[in-house]
Structure 1
Amino acid sequence: MYEFGPYALDVHERRLWNAGHVVALRPKAHDVLVALVRRAGTLVTKRELLDLVWRDVSVEEGILAVYVSSLRKSLGDCGETGAYIETVPRAGYRFSGAVRLRTVPAEPLSMRWPIGVLPARPEVSELIGRGRACLMTASRSDIPRAVEAFRSAIALDPDYAAAHAGLAVAHCAEAELRLAAPQVAYPSARAAALRALAMEASNADAQVALGTVLFLSDWNWNGARRSLERALELNADHTEGWLLYGRLLEALGYLAEGLAAKQRALERDPSSATVHLQIALSYWNQRRYDDMIAWATRSLDLDPQHLLAREYLASAYWKKGDLDRHMAESLTHARAAGAPLDLLEDLRRTYDTRGRAGIVEFALRANANGPPMQLALLHGEAGNLDEAFAHLDAAIASRDPALVHVAVAPQWDCLRGDARFHERLEDVGLDAAADRCQRYLQQHGHGP
């Protein structure tokens, strides 16, 4: 914990405090501040900052001025020779404020710590903080870095429960973002979560890890709920715990309660693009598309490169019937994801000539070998219901984590009127969730 003026910078929890209040910082702004504070009083060159904060990404040097300006505003620091961050012309930056390092007091040698409870070495804590920060971006490029960070922490301290818990959640994220097959990622996640619990059953991170596995892999709705509620009893400030608990409640048809849980996460991490996006998805499940667009846009304001936010924004415009905006967002998303130029031009021509039906047909051709869940949705949109249900059955058989919200999410409304859909919900134990969702939508004037 680095302290300067009225501020406290918690590297492990990735939070900046000012007199007991969290100061909202974008993730990269936090990383720039940490790099400067650690070398307070010393010139940090622009090249060094770029290597520290954007190690695996090629960015222009000018981005530093943007983030330093943002930090100065957050710190109430005016001008290039402010109280905290000094600009060294043509060279770099220096943190000029007086910094105090608060450390954990040494315990008497006679004190015995249970395994997994012993405070982590600083380098282990930093690795865990880095892993959590990568997880919270929900980015395909950051999840492998999260896995690497947690594995490095375990290599340094194999008896620290939080490191194993973080690795479990990271493996689950690999499956959700299709970076690894579920049958590969989830057994590794389960083993890591159980190892964390064996070390420290009363560890909130370990309970969140188990809840994540039970929710996304096992579809053990009640077991996941018990684990997450236990985690939040142990640590009521667990941002990831509140976020996942909100997702679970929504999957079970408790739409208002799910949104409320995610808002608890927002109170604890107001600068997280992913938390904002999860709130957007709450409004998506409530069919409040204008609210979803507003929150997805806020997510993009915090992180312009957040591909999931762009994807969900396009989906909201699709549901509203605003196909021009849908196409604009889809093309922006595809460019950012590295789609070939000829494919983008083909998509634009198809939309211009054939409209909505053309987009669906194009997507079916482009994703002919895609995941069964995606093919089920596309065939449903095209009206090919038999094909849609065949692919849905394949997705259920593989326990695709994207199906956890099948009872409530509006993308499945294309199949919802078919009796076969209710049969599938009964098979996975979510028929009651669909009924709760339907009652909520009727009561609040929303619906397919």
Structure 2
Amino acid sequence: MQIYLVGGAVRDQLLGYPVIERDWLVIGETPESMLAQGFRPVGKDFPVFLHPDNNEEYALARTERKTAPGYKGFVIHAEPDISLEQDLLRRDLTINAMALDEDGQVIDPYGGQQDLQQRIFRHVSPAFAEDPVRILRLARFAARYAHLGFTLAEETRAMMQQMVEAGEVDYLVPERVWAELFKALNEQTPAAFFETLNACGALAKIFPEIHALFGVPQPEQHHPEIDTGIHSLMSLQQAVLLSDNPEVRFAALVHDLGKALSPKDNLPHHYGHENAGLPILETFCKRLRVPNSFRVLALQVMQYHTHCHRVFDLRASTIVDMMVALGVTKPKNNFALFLLACEADAKGRTGFETRDYNQVRYLSRIAAALQSVDTSSISKSGLQGPQIGEAIRRLRIKAVRQAMNAYQQE
């Protein structure tokens, strides 16, 4: 049995990145011989096995032949006579097509080390074009490594564009799109995920709601970057600086989807974009089967982010209604995450990146006052029906007004 460490583990080891998981390639074996040695099969489409002791994945060397559109239209050929070079040739990028033998020597038949040194994403062979998932994977690699200076080879970008024009991305299933987006949101530069997709034309097909924001102007005095799409990606990157939570990052990304609907006669203004975007966001989340926790926070941020920005000008009653809608009076709520996403939006503007966002401290103080309101006396007052709710609201408004006054006097 010849065993090689392959793929991302080799790439990250050479980059000095932490290796999270290791994949092994086995040459010269059959499924039967692997089973006889105690390996447990897990691969449905091709022979992959778990090591009996450490549960790491060991795959038999294989080649693939495209037989139908999409990313499932492949016939797998896995036989003992498949060579290491043949197996590496079917991989997506040169930096992922290297292997490490048992003596620690790098086997690099397709120039992966040079592309690592030059910080280039380059496809290994024309077979890249056979699998549309590779477009998403490459975009996700951009999200992970863009801060190191990685760029996309022009010939690879052109191939990706040809794949888009040929309709290959139309075969991507929602679960896979969300899986790659989720991974990208957890990387250091998730904006690069969308920039890479936009560069090859895939953004319009995969994320049309986000693509629609590019080219939509905003008032220059508030948004020196002007373009709404650019602002959305800047907000996403500010969210990365503020929080590790992918829900906050997602909410910052999509908070302005409604601006794509603003009438041209009103531009660069976007009256009512907060509520106009809600159906777009619902459709987006339904199509990609976005988890409910992401959807709920994103909807809250979309609807109330301008309230948060203008909170120093709002009446106590308006603030109470907003906070009740955000669930601040409930034991479990998203309010801290909401504030982070709003701060990311405020700082996601050219020249505003380092400005203080005092709304966080102000609203946190008000939220504490709202949560401390004792409503037990109302339950004993004899009030009925809507009267109870209105009495509770008056108590809350009073507490919030007092907190506002105390803050302003400091």
Q: Same fold (TM over 0.5)?
A: no
TM-score, scaled relative to structure 2? 0.32
The structure with the largest alpha-carbon Rg is: 2
- Report the TM-score when normalising by structure 1: 0.30
